[in-house]
């Protein structure tokens, strides 16, 4: 038998499966998990159960703001029927923002990973810099930038590309705001996966007769898919539930589901059960969408 | 496929130079590698061997000079346009593709009708067929190495480049792969250019070795030639061990030069010395030196030294001997005799050698 066959058939050379952990070690692992588990239990799981029970409560007729424990699934029925357009809008705007953020972030992350050289750190700081000011303040700043008197609206109006002369208080402003606010969450994971890629693997594409574009399509992009997947999830999930951008940049009518939940909780007397039902519906819908998405585009690392 | 160039013949580098900013990685190299030969570029890290390889692959473009295969000038063309494939250091397999798809990558890009069949054959050649459905991360280093080889070979390139392909393997596996690589090269008959810093690896596999240092080719030739008659101090020391002593040429005795090494006259064949007057670095390979307790009769080249260290190696015993010049020489005693010399550190010994084995190289390494 030749040397090759020996190597090929030698099970000792397979990457070894993780050695069974000693009892001592697994015990330590549980101990290390304890603070996190407690934290999640008290501040995530219990409120979730509480919210689930609220979502099934019924109102006392004639006493707004008073509820009794119940299994009132009509809250969910009304969440789905009355607010279906809001759900659709949320997913549409979040989807658009995710797509736009991807379109902006990928070239940026690519440039940072492969072309930036000594500018790389500066670019990284620029990507992270917005986190030094509050989300609300930055969105307020955007309401100034997109205002009718602002230069963006002026330039676009000069070019006659705005149908009704405004950006602010339109869905365009909302999508722009969402795109901007979640951009770093898209850039960073994509950058991380590109930066981690072995440059020789990409060179190998060229060496094996793939031109620049084909190498990108068949090697670079697939290698960075874990980053793309993480980035799109980190953008889409919060964007779908966001209400700040709609509140500050959006129109008066045609709100997103986040605004409805916010209003039901804070502004509508007796809105708690419906708000809770809407929250759960949103969570379920996002979970289903994410599951389908990961099933379709996911890599082994993330599934 | 757009841009792909068929080319056949010897690989030639004509006056190729590569500079990175102020640093000259490859300095005016001329090289001709005959078609179908196994050629090694040997040198320490930073000597320009990998840069030379990358210029052949098209991954770097030369600052000056031409890269040719046969009559086709490939200078300036992109890697994907060249009939050249590379086995990368650390293999660079596509982590997201199966072994089969990794190997099929090249043929698919070239839209070859028999891509799948070629892939199966290439995997067969490196005996990895049973792993076709796996991903690279599920293979050991040696297995990945062979997939990388198949991925390059499947394209039947005119020139196959190997960039330290065995560097990540352990010693035993490396020895086995050296034999396998040589077998495969003989079988497929392609031009192999193998970059390595391991002199033993280069000598074992290659028909021709080019020793590189600081962007230059110091010497080029068959391994036996380089070992037997190095032309520079660098080659003498880089390729195997050499016992050396700096001296001055004093006299000519027939075919021999007489060199004075710190008071001791030694002889070098005139034809085996690169310099014929003035300063010279005298050298002789350790295995050519005979060690004995008493001064041998009429040997001519003999020097007295003191044993510093003794290592028993099994087939031979290795001695380090302090010479009068202050240098330490190495020599071997084959363990053939029933009664070995049984030397101990501190013993006085005589070292002798046949003057025909000695060589002379320029005393100063050219900068």
Give residue-wise pLDDT tens across range B126-175.
889 999 999 999 999 889 999 999 999 999 999 999 999 888 788 888 88
- Residue B367 banded pLDDT, cuts 50, 70, 90: very low
pLDDT, greater one: B157 or A62: B157
Query: What is the rounded average pLDDT of the residues A216-223?
Result: 94
* A275-A279-A280-A286 Cα dihedral, nearest 10 degrees: 150
Q: Does a structural domain hold residue A6?
A: no
Query: What is the rounded average pLDDT of the residues A217-235?
Result: 94
B260: left (phi over 0), alpha (psi -120 to 50) or beta: beta
Number of structural domains chain A divides into:
1
Tell me if A211 and B126 make a contact (CB, 8 A cut-off).
no
What's the pLDDT score for residue A69? 83
A211 has a chain B CB within 8 A of its CB: yes
What's the pLDDT score for residue A188? 95
Contacts of B115 in chain A (CB under 8 A): none
Query: What is the rounded average pLDDT of the residues A279-288?
Result: 94
Looking at every residue in chain B, the average pLDDT score rounds to: 90
Q: What is the pLDDT of residues B4-24, one digit of tens each?
A: 788 889 999 999 999 999 999
Q: Does a structural domain hold residue A34?
A: no
Contacts of A36 (CB under 8 A, 6+ apart): none
Q: At residue A301, does pLDDT exceed 80?
A: no
Q: Does a structural domain hold residue A4?
A: no
**Lowest mean per-residue pLDDT among A80-94, A287-301, B108-122:** A287-301
Q: Does a structural domain hold residue A242?
A: yes
The pairing of strands B328-334 and A58-59 is unpaired
Query: Residue A233 belongs to what domain range?
Result: 83-297
**Lowest mean per-residue pLDDT among A138-147, A241-250, B201-210, B287-296:** B287-296
What's the pLDDT score for residue A9? 44
What's the pLDDT score for residue A299? 62
What's the pLDDT score for residue A300? 57
Of B316, B284, B315, B287, the residue nearest B300 (C-alpha) = B284
Query: What is the rounded average pLDDT of the residues A182-196?
Result: 95
What's the pLDDT score for residue B253? 84
What's the pLDDT score for residue B2? 47
Q: Which of residues 143-202 of B touch A (CB under 8 A)?
A: 143, 146, 151-152, 155, 173, 176-177, 179-180
Looking at every residue in chain A, the average pLDDT score rounds to: 87
Of B289, B305, B313, B304, the residue nearest B345 (C-alpha) = B305
Of B151, B131, B153, B129, the residue nearest B140 (C-alpha) = B131
Q: What is the pLDDT of residues B265-281, one digit of tens each?
A: 888 999 999 988 889 99
Instruction: Determine the straight-line distance between the first and last CA of chain B, rounded to whole angstroms.
Output: 46
Q: At residue A303, does pLDDT exceed 90?
A: no
Query: What is the rounded average pLDDT of the residues A169-197?
Result: 95
Q: Cα(A55)–Cα(A273) distance, rounded to whole angstroms?
A: 4
Q: Which of A117, A209, A222, A303 to mutate to test the interface with B (most CBs of B within 10 A)?
A: A209
- Residue A24 banded pLDDT, cuts 50, 70, 90: low
Q: Does a structural domain hold residue A17?
A: no
Query: What is the rounded average pLDDT of the residues A248-266?
Result: 92
Q: Does a structural domain hold residue A108?
A: yes
**Lowest mean per-residue pLDDT among A87-96, A279-288, B15-24, B344-353:** B344-353
Q: Which of B2, B92, B96 sits opposite A198 (nearest CB)?
A: B92
CATH, residue A232: 1.10.3720.10
Q: Does a structural domain hold residue A65?
A: no
What's the pLDDT score for residue B72? 92
Q: What is the pLDDT of residues B158-217, one digit of tens each?
A: 999 999 988 878 888 888 888 888 888 998 889 999 999 999 889 989 999 999 999 999
Q: Where are the beta strands (DSSP E) in chain B?
A: 11-20, 23-33, 38-42, 64-69, 72-73, 84-87, 159-163, 191-196, 208-213, 216-221, 243-253, 256-261, 264-269, 278-284, 290-292, 302-312, 316-322, 328-334, 348-352, 359-361
What's the pLDDT score for residue B299? 60
Q: Does a structural domain hold residue A63?
A: no
């Amino acid at each position: 038998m030749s040397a090759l066959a020996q190597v090929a058939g030698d099970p000792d050379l397979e990457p070894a499966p993780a050695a069974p952990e000693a009892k001592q070690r697994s015990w330590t692992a549980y101990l290390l998990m304890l603070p996190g588990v407690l934290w999640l239990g008290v501040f995530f799981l219990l409120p979730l159960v509480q919210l689930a029970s609220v979502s099934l409560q019924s109102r006392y007729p004639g006493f707004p703001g008073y509820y009794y424990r119940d299994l009132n699934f009509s809250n969910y029925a009304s969440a789905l029927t009355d607010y279906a357009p809001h759900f659709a809008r949320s997913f549409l705007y979040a989807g658009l923002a995710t797509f736009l953020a991807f379109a902006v972030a990928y070239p940026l992350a690519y440039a940072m990973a492969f072309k930036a050289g000594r500018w790389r750190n500066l670019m990284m700081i620029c990507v992270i810099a917005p986190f030094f000011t509050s989300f609300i303040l930055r969105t307020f700043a955007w309401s100034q930038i997109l205002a009718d008197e602002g230069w963006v609206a002026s330039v676009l109006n000069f070019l006659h590309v705005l149908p009704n002369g405004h950006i602010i208080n339109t869905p365009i402003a909302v999508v722009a705001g969402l795109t901007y606010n979640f951009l770093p969450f898209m850039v960073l994971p994509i950058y991380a996966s590109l930066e981690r890629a072995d440059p020789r693997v990409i060179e190998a594409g060229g060496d094996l007769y793939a031109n620049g574009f084909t190498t990108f399509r068949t090697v670079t992009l697939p290698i960075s898919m874990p980053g793309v997947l993480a980035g799109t999830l980190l953008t889409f999930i919060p964007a779908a539930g966001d209400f700040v951008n709609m509140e500050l940049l959006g129109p008066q009518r045609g709100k997103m589901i986040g605004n409805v939940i916010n209003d039901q909780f804070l502004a509508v007397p007796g809105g708690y059960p419906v708000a809770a039902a809407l929250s759960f519906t949103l969570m379920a819908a996002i979970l289903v969408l994410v599951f389908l998405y990961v099933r379709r585009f996911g890599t082994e690392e993330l599934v | 496929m757009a841009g792909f160039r068929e080319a056949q013949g010897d690989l030639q580098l004509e006056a190729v130079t590569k500079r990175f900013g102020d640093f000259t990685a490859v300095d005016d190299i001329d090289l001709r590698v005959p078609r179908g030969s196994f050629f090694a570029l040997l040198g320490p890290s930073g000597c320009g061997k990998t840069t030379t390889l990358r210029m052949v692959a098209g991954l770097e473009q030369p600052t000056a000079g031409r890269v040719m295969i046969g009559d086709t000038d490939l200078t300036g063309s992109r890697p994907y346009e060249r009939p050249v494939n590379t086995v990368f250091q650390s293999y660079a397999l596509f982590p997201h593709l199966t072994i089969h798809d990794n190997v099929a990558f090249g043929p698919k890009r070239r839209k070859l009708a028999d891509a799948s069949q070629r892939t199966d054959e290439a995997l067969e050649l490196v005996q990895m067929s049973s792993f076709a459905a796996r991903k690279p991360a599920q293979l050991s280093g040696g297995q990945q190495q062979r997939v990388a080889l198949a991925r390059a070979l499947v394209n039947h390139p005119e020139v196959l480049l190997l960039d330290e392909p065995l560097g990540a393997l352990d010693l035993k596996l490396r020895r086995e792969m050296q034999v396998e690589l040589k077998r495969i090269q003989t079988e497929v008959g392609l031009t192999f250019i193998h970059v390595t810093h391991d002199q033993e690896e280069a000598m074992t596999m290659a028909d021709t070795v080019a020793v590189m240092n600081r962007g230059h080719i110091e010497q080029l030739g068959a391994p036996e030639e380089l070992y037997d008659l190095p032309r520079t101090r660098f080659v003498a020391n880089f390729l195997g061990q050499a016992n050396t002593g700096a001296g001055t040429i004093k006299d000519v005795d027939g075919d021999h030069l007489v060199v004075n090494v710190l008071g001791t006259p030694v002889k070098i064949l005139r034809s085996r010395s690169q310099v014929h007057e003035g300063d010279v670095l005298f050298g002789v390979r350790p295995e050519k030196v005979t060690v004995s307790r008493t001064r041998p009769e009429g040997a001519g080249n003999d020097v007295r030294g003191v044993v510093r260290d003794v290592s028993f190696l099994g087939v031979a015993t290795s001695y380090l001997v302090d010479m009068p010049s202050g240098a330490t020489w190495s020599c071997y005693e084959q363990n053939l005799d029933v009664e070995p010399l049984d030397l101990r550190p501190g013993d006085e010994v005589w070292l002798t050698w046949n003057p025909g084995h000695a060589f002379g190289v320029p005393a100063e390494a050219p900068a």
